[in-house]
Amino acid sequence: MSQRLTDEQKHAFLEDGYLAVPDFYDAEEMDLLLQVARADMEKTENVHGPVDAAGRISKLWLTSDTEHDDVYNAICHGQRLVDAMECIMEDEVYLYHYKMMVKEPRVGGAWEWHQDYGYWYNNNCLYPDMASCMIAVDRAYKGNGCLQVLRGSHKLGRLEHGKSGTQTGAAAERVELARQHLEHVYCEMEPGTALFFHANLLHASAPNESPDPRWALICCYNTKHNPCDDKPGHPSYRHLERWGDERVKELGRKHLQQMQTSG
């Protein structure tokens, strides 16, 4: 599958700090990813995310493992995603890490307002020239805690961050000032939508108070020119091999067949 970004889409990302691309992945690709992720109990059951200010938890697992031929790496290495990321970042990119975010029905917690560079700055990433792509594995809407952003907030520069619950969030008074001047957008997405966002974009999400789960795969990339510490889960530069986009379905089907055989 080929889906090149247009000049208009690139301009929108540079101005707004984010870009939503519907149908970036098709229904079968997202169904395969969801089935594999739900069955992958080691990643979804044994790792829990930080606690929000109200004491609720959103599950997540995070890795920079690029060695396995699996559906996660097929997406992170996929030509359509890497090409799009290099288009908007105007440089070669490499995989910083990827993570599955799981907001379970009724209990999934909130994520406080923050910038990803607010975390990654402490890994000695010299520049904020980093970005992520959130892929809606199932439907994300206001009721189940979809991502919220402040349009254009990536132009504010890095804000101070501190603890809120066990999460790290941007300084509340600065966030409130930004909210008075910038458009607050709820990024509702259908499965297969890809949401690209800059590392300095202020974003958050509410708790999931609906009966519907909200699963999302987030693939994070750094640019080749941006030096940083080499840490587990947050590596320094290494060449990212592009995989053919057909491997998403190939490896997803293979994984499911293996699970069915072993089951």
43 phi, psi to nearest 5 deg: -85, -35
> What region, left, alpha or beta, does residue 152 occupy, with left being phi > 0 and alpha being psi -120 to 50 degrees?
left
Comparing CA positions, the residue from 25, 18, 104, 121 lying closest to residue 60 is 104
CATH superfamily, domain at 8-262: q2cbj1_9rhob like domain (2.60.120.620)
- Percent of the chain residues topping a pLDDT of 70: 90
* pTM score of the predicted model: 0.93
Q: What is the pLDDT of residue 50?
A: 65
Q: Which has the minimum average pLDDT: 54-63, 88-97, 141-150, 178-187? A: 54-63
Token pair recorded at residue 189: 């997405």
Q: Is the pLDDT of residue 71 over 90?
A: yes
Question: What is the DSSP pairing of strand 184-187 with strand 194-198?
Answer: unpaired
- Rounded alpha-carbon distances, angstroms, from residue 68 to 58, 65, 192, 242: 26, 7, 23, 14
- Domain positions in the chain are 8-262
**pLDDT tens for each residue of 19-45:** 999 999 999 999 999 999 888 766 555
> b/e string for 180-193 if b means 16 or more Cβ within 10 A?
eebeeeebbbebbb
Comparing 163 with 236, which gets the higher pLDDT?
236
Average pLDDT over residues 75-96: 97
What are the DSSP calls for 159-194, one per residue?
Answer: PPEEEETTEEEE-HHHHHHHHHHS-EEEE-B-TT-E
Q: What is the pLDDT of residue 135?
A: 98
Q: Which has the minimum average pLDDT: 49-53, 88-92, 131-135, 246-250? A: 49-53
Chain centre to alpha carbon of residue 51: 19
Q: What is the pLDDT of residue 107?
A: 78
**pLDDT tens for each residue of 46-59:** 566 666 666 676 77
**pLDDT tens for each residue of 165-212:** 667 789 999 999 999 999 999 999 999 999 999 999 999 999 999 999
